[in-house]
Chains A and B, each alone.
Chain A
Amino acid sequence: MKKKSGVITLLALFMFFLFPVFAWAAEDGIDTGDTAWIIISTALVFLMVPGVSLFYGGMVRQKNVLNTMMMSFICLGVVTILWLAYGYSLAFGPDIGKFIGDLSYLGLKGVGIEPNGTIPHQLFVVFQMMFAILTPALITGAIVERMRFPAFLVFLVLWTTLVYDPICHWVWGGGWLMELGALDFAGGTVVHISSGVSALVAALVLGRRKGYGTERMVPHNIPYVVLGAALLWFGWFGFNSGSALGANGLAASVFVNTQVATGAALMSWVLAEWLRHGKPTILGGASGAIAGLVAITPACAFVTPMGSLAIGLVAGALCYFAVSYAKVKLGYDDSLDVFGIHGVGGMWGALATGLFSVSEGAEGLFYGNASQLGIQAISIVATIVFASVTTFVILKVVGAITGLRVDDEAEIIGLDVNEHSERAYSV
């Protein structure tokens, strides 16, 4: 009898702890397929951060690889906390003047597992968190090999708060660009133009690396770069297809468009450099793929596969031109070509959305609606102006608080030892 009552007690406890699970499964509005896909997509977007670490880490000199990787990896810590504390609320909280969200969701107050669309609200928060983490990580490519790590951390906090969160709200959180009808499915303006333009400003404010133009600054580990690019490409399927916020036909169409544009851009970059320099390079192939991924990001839900092909083909050649010709002519030192790929690729993608969109009611120029191109142009200009001016001010403030740049000796020795007391390779 005693044994039986013990079993019943255990069963009761078991049911008590399981109850919330049953409650969730029965929650109206949540679709398990959609939820599963967005959890996977979130993890895919997460993988892009170590992907960026490898992509950038391979392109710098041996003495700076750890500092370069650390700059993107640390975003996983800093931005996670910021997003939880107030970032999500600023970006997606109830709107204030079409410019910013309010602080209703401070500390994720009131954000539980209730449905947001067909997925739990907290899942939407963490999916968007990955975008907020990745975007400043992209900027680091322009400032590596010379920026002080403490200065970067202050910059990271201010930039995420003052640039990313507002632009995210403008485009996705109910802000003025959303109201205007700007199309940016997975982050052409929010992620790539904002980071690309900010990267250029940061490169200009910091100045060139010591020995730039006279010393050989070539990638120390191209296999890292290829591995990083491959992880980015893989993760980008979650980035773009996950933005459908459901396991549905739209997600499938986005997946196809992402693959087509990326393959096309890879080929057009490689062919462009083959024609110009006589040989195809794997670094060019990896760079072209990223250019294609960037360019298709805003358009991926609004275009046909043939439209994606055109967007990708132009993106590869255009970004190759920006990196290998325009940058050299203009003489700025964007260490790893963040502006040339994310800035230029993002602008092309946002414009191309206004050319190739077949979305009902928001067709592009080639489908008889010139006004969409104008709206896209406004979103590009607004992002450029806001991101560049705010980034400039942030850097000046950070520079006044703590020096932006390591001293000459530290730059010669390398930032791995100077900033982190670590060395990537012992021999």
Chain B
Amino acid sequence: MVKIEAIVRPGVLEDIKDGLSQHGIHGMTVAQVMGCGLQKGRKEVYRGTEYSINLLPKVKIEIVAVDNDVDGVIEVIIKAARTGEIGDGKIFISRIENAVRIRTGEKGDIAL
């Protein structure tokens, strides 16, 4: 079992959801987040005063998938989120020890 955390531009969320749906993956957690990486932020101006904005709005998608689905999920995310410009985001992958479906008490891959 693997957790895939993808931090992407807000505008690509729908494409990622559609792509994952076609792969039969429906479960995910999505959060609006602020972050910075290689992108140096941007300038905002309020009543003539400039502010440097380093943290930019992004969307974080968390998906826990069975091992066999991981490559497919990553492919879907990259296909939908890549523009080639700085700021496309990152994907983090980590192992998950176990999962429990609260409603039934099922554990392991079947709980996903």
Tell me the interface secondary structure of chain A in the complex: helix
CA–CA, A323 to B45, complex, Å? 13
Bound CA–CA A337/B49 (angstroms): 12
The yes or no answer to B50 lying at the interface (CB within 8 A) is yes
Residue on A nearest B44 in the bound complex, by CB: A218
CB atoms of A218 and B48 under 8 A apart: no
Q: Are B51 and A273 in contact (CB under 8 A)?
A: no
* Total A-B residue contacts, Cβ distance less than 8 Å: 29
Could you say which interface size class chain A belongs to? 10 to 19
Inter-chain CA distance A279–B50, complex, in Å, is: 12
Query: In whole angstroms, what is the CA distance A417 to B47 when docked?
Result: 28
Apart from A218-B46, A283-B46: 4 A-B pairs, beta carbons within 8 A: A283-B47, A287-B47, A323-B47, A323-B48
Q: How many residues of B contact A (CB 8 A)?
A: 8
Interface SS of chain B: strand
Which B residues are closer than 8 A to A by beta carbons?
44-51
The answer to whether A277 touches B51 (Cβ under 8 A) is no
A371 at the B interface (CB under 8 A):
no
Instruction: Give chain A residues whose Cβ lies under 8 Å from the Cβ of B50.
Output: 277
- Complexed CA–CA distance, A281 and B45 (Å): 8
B51 and A324 form a contact (CB under 8 A)? no
Could you say which residues of chain A place their CB within 8 Å of the CB of B46? Answer: 218-219, 281, 283
CA distance A273 to B50 in the complex (A): 11
Q: Which of A216, A273, A325, A337 contacts B45 (CB 8 A)?
A: A273
Distance of A216 Cα from B55 Cα, bound (Å):
12
Question: A19 to nearest B CB, angstroms?
Answer: 57
- Cβ of B51 and Cβ of A325 under 8 Å apart? no
Q: Which residues 296-351 in A have Cβ within 8 Å of B in the complex? A: 320, 323-325, 328, 337
A325 to B48, CA, bound (A): 8
Chain B residue numbers with a CB within 8 Å of A196 are none
- Nearest CB of chain B from residue A17's CB, rounded to whole Å: 56
Q: Smallest distance from the beta carbon of B44 to chain A beta carbons, Å?
A: 7
Contacts of A216 in B (CB 8 A): 51
